């Protein structure tokens, strides 16, 4: 375990070397939150509750959604894809490391950096500038755990897209498609409640909602018991397990066609 944590620490330091980028991400995020605030307050002008959600709930959902979006953005798909395409993967394969865990713990370094540099400032801005209020409840306590599972699921998608570089010269198209699918189907852009019932049912059966919808529901509706949150966490855990196994199988298949450039 310690050998992998060294990777997390190392990557945290790498991200630190690029700290100036965070400043701009925070500014961009504040602008986005401002736009979202006015957009949703005008939508809520003539109704207190839309699709069972109040303005406060919706705005917390959207704003925290954007904070999680930035938190999970570790570019793991691009990094892995690049390592495969350029043959740098050969260097890691000569180390006593499992490649999936190597990628996971490296990506975790980016998560910690994002958390400290972007997500926490965003939450501070939310509470100070937009004066949003969160009610205390079980959901709030479970939120960090749910977020951790969400990261693992999100990582699996990144890892999968990265590995696809074994089959294609450029992962650009696949990565963009992944971003769009996750953003729309996970409820990151719009709460799932706003989708038609039939679509909602389908989306709830897919893994994407476990990245955004689940943790965000825990914050927006924290006053519920284990009977609600228990199954939600179980579904997340199920997807973590399933996707870890699937991407592992995909790796075993993909590595067979490995041709590191240069004979």
Partner 1 sequence: MSLIHIENLGKHFKVLNRREGLGGAVRDLFSGDYRTVKAVDRISFDIEPGEMVGYIGPNGAGKSTTIKMMTGILKPSDGTIQVNGLAPYENRIRQAQIMGVVFGQRTQLWWDLPVIESFKILKEIYKVDQKTFDDHMGMFNELVGLKALYTQQVRTLSLGQRMLCDITASFLHNPQVVFLDEPTIGLDISIKAKIRSVIQELNRKRKTTIILTTHDLGDVEALCKRIIIIDKGKILYDGNVKQVNALFGAYRTLKLQIDDFTESTLEELHGKFDEHFGTGHGITIAEVEENWTDVTIDQARTHLSDVLSLVMTNFSVYDVRIVEISMETVVRQIYDGALG
Nearer to partner 1, 18 or 20 (CB): 18
Shortest Å, Cβ 187 to partner 1? 35
**CB-CB contact of 109 with 7 (8 Å):** yes
Report the chain's terminal Cα–Cα distance, integer Å: 34
Tokens of 199: 């679509």
51 or 95: CB nearest partner 1: 95
Place of tokens 């706003």: 194
With contacts defined by CB under 8 A, how many residues of the chain interact with partner 1?
A: 27
**Cβ atoms < 10 Å from Cβ of 41:** 12
- H-state helical runs in 95-225: 99-114, 120-128, 138-163, 172-185, 197-204, 213-220
- Interface characters, 153-172, with partner 1 (x: CB under 8 A): --------------------
Closest to 33 (Cα-Cα) out of 58, 5, 13, 1:
58
Shortest Cβ 248–partner 1 spacing (Å): 14
207: nearest Cα among 242, 161, 172: 242
Structure tokens at 192: 């799932």
Task: At 262, list the tokens.
Answer: 């240069």
Alpha carbon of residue 174 to chain centroid? 17
CB of 95 to partner 1, least distance (A): 6
* Calpha distance 184→163 (Å, rounded): 23
In the stretch 93-132, what mask flags binding to partner 1 with x, by CB under 8 A? xxxxxx----------------------------------
x/- string (CB under 8 A) for partner 1, residues 9-28?
Answer: xx--xx--xx----------
Rounded CA gap, 233 and 241, in Å? 12
Least separation in angstroms between residue 75's CB and partner 1 is 14
Q: Which of 36, 50, 90, 203 binds partner 1 (CB under 8 A)?
A: 90
What is the nearest approach in angstroms of partner 1 to the Cβ of residue 90? 5
Q: Does 184 bind partner 1 (CB under 8 A)?
A: no
Token pair belonging to 239: 């997807």
**Which residue from 88, 190, 235, 254 is in contact with partner 1, where contact means CB under 8 A?**
88
Options 39-47, 60-68, 83-91, 181-189: segment touching partner 1 (CB under 8 A): 83-91
Residues engaged in binding partner 1 (CB under 8 A): 2-3, 5-7, 9-10, 13-14, 17-18, 87-88, 90-91, 93-98, 256, 258-260, 262-263
């Amino acid at each position: 375990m310690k050998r992998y944590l060294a990777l997390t620490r190392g990557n945290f330091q790498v991200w630190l070397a690029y700290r100036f980028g965070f400043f701009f991400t925070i500014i961009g995020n504040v602008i986005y939150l401002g736009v979202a605030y006015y957009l949703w307050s005008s939508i809520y002008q003539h109704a207190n509750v839309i699709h069972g959600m109040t303005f406060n709930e919706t705005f917390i959902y959207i704003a925290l959604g954007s904070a999680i979006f930035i938190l999970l953005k570790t570019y793991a798909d691009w990094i892995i894809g690049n390592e495969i395409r350029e043959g740098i993967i050969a260097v890691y394969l000569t180390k006593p490391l499992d490649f999936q865990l190597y990628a996971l713990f490296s990506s975790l370094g980016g998560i910690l950096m994002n958390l400290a540099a972007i997500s926490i400032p965003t939450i501070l801005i939310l509470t100070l500038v937009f004066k949003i209020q969160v009610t205390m409840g079980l959901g709030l306590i479970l939120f960090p755990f749910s977020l951790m599972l969400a990261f693992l699921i999100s990582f699996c998608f990144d890892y999968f897209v990265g590995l696809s570089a074994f089959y294609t010269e450029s992962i650009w198209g696949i990565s963009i498609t992944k971003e769009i699918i996750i953003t729309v189907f996970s409820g990151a852009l719009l709460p799932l409640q706003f989708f038609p019932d039939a679509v909602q049912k389908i989306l709830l059966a897919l893994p994407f909602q476990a990245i955004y919808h689940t943790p965000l529901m825990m914050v927006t509706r924290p006053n519920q018991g284990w009977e609600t949150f228990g199954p939600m966490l179980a579904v997340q855990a199920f997807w973590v397990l399933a996707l870890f196994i699937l991407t592992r199988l995909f790796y075993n298949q993909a590595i067979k066609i490995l041709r590191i450039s240069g004979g």
